[in-house]
Chains A and B, each alone.
Chain A
Amino acid sequence: MIAAASTVVVIALVLWWILSSEAWPAVQKQFFNPTNFREVWPDVVGGFWLDIRMFLVAEVLILGIALLLAMIRALRGPAFFPLRALVIVFIDLIRGVPIILLILLLGFGIPALQLKGVPTSPLFWGVATLVISYSAYTAEVYRAGIESVHESQRMAARSLGLTQMKALRYVLVPQAIRNVIPALLNGFVSLQKDVALVFILGVREGVREAQIYTAKTFNYTGYIAATVLFLLVSVPVARFTDWYTERDRKRKQAVGSG
């Protein structure tokens, strides 16, 4: 109650300060112009819908590929050393390069090679880069999860004659995933925004549409429209992540003390 009241007061004060400032009329004209907003909204929404689709396709691929990478990395013994080393090198390299640089490299670089049978669409390479980059990060999330499962579980699984891969698949990974769901959800929020980076390849997603409009009209309202759309999706996911994490923590406490 006190929290709600004080929040309202603070917001009201901030709004009053902004709206009464000398600069406000200019700001409103440049960023919050209703006419411009109406004009740009359909294009930005259309572009944003592409953002959403890119996000969905990429996320599904990332969750699968990252899990495979993490499982390979969790294999033990000298026989798997080459495979394991390959995965570690891949993850280190990808994580060591700014994602925007990867997008430029793959998105402009590979189509420029004009290889036969290799796609040249910037959309394809934009999404592919996001998948590659996020898979490397997400593999590390899974790895932390797998390592958090007690060693005795692996031993029990192996003692029943399960191979390493089967022990991972049936025993370790299901427990690991439960432990890292909050971290995976955080990854969702992050990717949902980073899909906009492919605008640099000229893909006409939400931010690109806003940029095109601004270049034409010298008015920034289009960027505000895009901002609103991204917030509409990412804030609820962030709230959900918090809610889930909290519930999970309480459940673990209940089990721990029961």
Chain B
Amino acid sequence: MSVKVELSNVVKAFDDKVVLRDVDLEVNLHEVVCLIGSSGSGKSTLLKCVNLLVPIDSGEILFDGSVITDPSVNPNEIRQKMGIVFQAFNLFPHMTVLENIMLAPTKVHGVDKLEAHELAQNLLLQFGLLDKIDEYPDRLSGGQQQRVAVVRALATRPELMLFDEVTSALDPELVAEVLGVIRGLKDRGMTMIVATHEMGFARDVADQVCFLDDGVILEQSTPKELFSNPQQPRTRQFLQRIVDAGRL
């Protein structure tokens, strides 16, 4: 199995606050890695580092075996191979669904308008959103907006998808439709790193689960292992809280 993404000794601090401490992580091709951990443990920061939205202080991140955290690397080229979906959707409010999706293919990848339009239509059809193609984001439900955000990220044909708590801002009844989309991507072999609070989802879909605690990957194993037989007291504590909240 080939390694798609590799983090080694990644350290990141905001001013004096260390947010990632010597993080090591390997994500294989076609694999889904879920990041769990309480709020503030560094999940979002880790994803943004992989995407080069946040520069790291030391260590290395490799993508397809080459170092991408080197100053000589053009971050725009790396980002073109990855898609990220955020908790707050972050669709562009002044553009229609179609325009949101076509922006990166046409302005970054140089795909011509007709082809980009066709691609957008195909993707929207697959995700059950074709009738929303000319709507503005504020006319869509949260679940629809988040699915459009996924489509927008997929329109650049990424090799890696990053999901940052993409269901946390949704009403409970809309969570399933978005998680369903991610499951669908797994079936198609997409490599993904998914930060989530949905433990049931992590248990079903993940190949590996990482428990982050205060910027450290405290425990990492298969979902079966991690959920049924957690080794670290902190992991047990975290899972217990989730169980108590009725979310597992």
Interface residues of A (CB under 8 A from B): 152-153, 155-163, 166, 170-171, 174-175, 178, 255
Contact of A161 among B92, B93, B108 (CB under 8 A): B108
A-binding segment of B22-30, B79-87, B126-134, B170-178:
B79-87
* Cβ-based interface call for B190 (8 A): no
Interface of chain A, main secondary structure: helix
- What is the CB-to-nearest-CB distance from B80 to chain A, in angstroms, rounded to a whole number? 4
**Which residues of A sit under 8 angstroms from B82, Cβ to Cβ?**
159
| CB atoms of A152 and B90 under 8 A apart | yes
| CB atoms of B76 and A163 under 8 A apart | yes
| CB atoms of A155 and B90 under 8 A apart | yes
What separation, in Å, do the CA atoms of A156 and B86 have in the docked complex? Answer: 8
**Which residues of A sit under 8 angstroms from B94, Cβ to Cβ?**
174-175, 178
Known contacts: A166-B107, A170-B107. The answer to whether A158 contacts B79 by CB under 8 A is yes
| CB atoms of A166 and B108 under 8 A apart | yes
What separation, in Å, do the CA atoms of A83 and B152 have in the docked complex? Answer: 33
**Which residues of B sit under 8 angstroms from A156, Cβ to Cβ?**
86, 90-92
| CB atoms of A153 and B90 under 8 A apart | yes
Query: Which 10 pairs from chain A and chain B are nearest by CB?
Result: A156-B90, A160-B104, A161-B80, A161-B79, A161-B108, A159-B84, A152-B90, A174-B94, A161-B76, A175-B94
Of the listed residues B53, B83, B92, B109, the one surrounded by the most CB atoms of chain A closer than 10 A to its CB is: B92
| CB atoms of B76 and A159 under 8 A apart | no
Q: List 21 A-B contacts (CB under 8 A).
A: A152-B86, A152-B90, A155-B86, A156-B90, A159-B53, A159-B84, A160-B79, A160-B152, A161-B76, A161-B104, A161-B108, A161-B109, A162-B76, A162-B103, A162-B108, A166-B107, A170-B103, A170-B107, A175-B92, A175-B94, A255-B138
**Which residues of A sit under 8 angstroms from B103, Cβ to Cβ?**
160, 162, 170-171
* Cβ-based interface call for B88 (8 A): yes
- What is the CB-to-nearest-CB distance from A197 to chain B, in angstroms, rounded to a whole number? 37
**Which residues of A sit under 8 angstroms from B138, Cβ to Cβ?**
255
- What is the CB-to-nearest-CB distance from B156 to chain A, in angstroms, rounded to a whole number? 7
Contact with A along B65-84 (1 / 0, CB 8 A): 00000000000110110111
Interface residues of B in 109-151 (CB under 8 A from A): 109, 138
What separation, in Å, do the CA atoms of A152 and B84 have in the docked complex? Answer: 12
- What is the CB-to-nearest-CB distance from B69 to chain A, in angstroms, rounded to a whole number? 16
- What is the CB-to-nearest-CB distance from B147 to chain A, in angstroms, rounded to a whole number? 15
**Which residues of A sit under 8 angstroms from B235, Cβ to Cβ?**
none
Known contacts: A155-B53, A255-B138. The answer to whether A160 contacts B86 by CB under 8 A is no
| CB atoms of A160 and B156 under 8 A apart | yes
Contact of B88 among A152, A159, A166, A174 (CB under 8 A): A152
| CB atoms of A175 and B86 under 8 A apart | no
* Cβ-based interface call for B51 (8 A): yes
Contact of B156 among A157, A161, A163, A178 (CB under 8 A): A161
What separation, in Å, do the CA atoms of A166 and B138 have in the docked complex? Answer: 23
- What is the CB-to-nearest-CB distance from A252 to chain B, in angstroms, rounded to a whole number? 12
Of the listed residues A156, A174, A175, the one surrounded by the most CB atoms of chain B closer than 10 A to its CB is: A156
Known contacts: A155-B53, A255-B138. The answer to whether A162 contacts B92 by CB under 8 A is no
| CB atoms of A159 and B92 under 8 A apart | no
**Which residues of B sit under 8 angstroms from A162, Cβ to Cβ?**
76, 103-104, 107-108
Known contacts: A175-B93, A255-B138. The answer to whether A159 contacts B108 by CB under 8 A is no
What separation, in Å, do the CA atoms of A158 and B51 have in the docked complex? Answer: 10
**Which residues of B sit under 8 angstroms from A155, Cβ to Cβ?**
53, 86, 90
What separation, in Å, do the CA atoms of A162 and B79 have in the docked complex? Answer: 9
What separation, in Å, do the CA atoms of A162 and B156 have in the docked complex? Answer: 12
**Which residues of A sit under 8 angstroms from B90, Cβ to Cβ?**
152-153, 155-156
What separation, in Å, do the CA atoms of A184 and B170 have in the docked complex? Answer: 38
**Which residues of B sit under 8 angstroms from A255, Cβ to Cβ?**
138
Give the residue name and chain of the B residue nearest to A162 (CB): B108
- What is the CB-to-nearest-CB distance from A146 to chain B, in angstroms, rounded to a whole number? 14
| CB atoms of B92 and A158 under 8 A apart | no
**Which residues of A sit under 8 angstroms from B53, Cβ to Cβ?**
155, 158-159
Give the residue name and chain of the B residue nearest to A151 (CB): B90
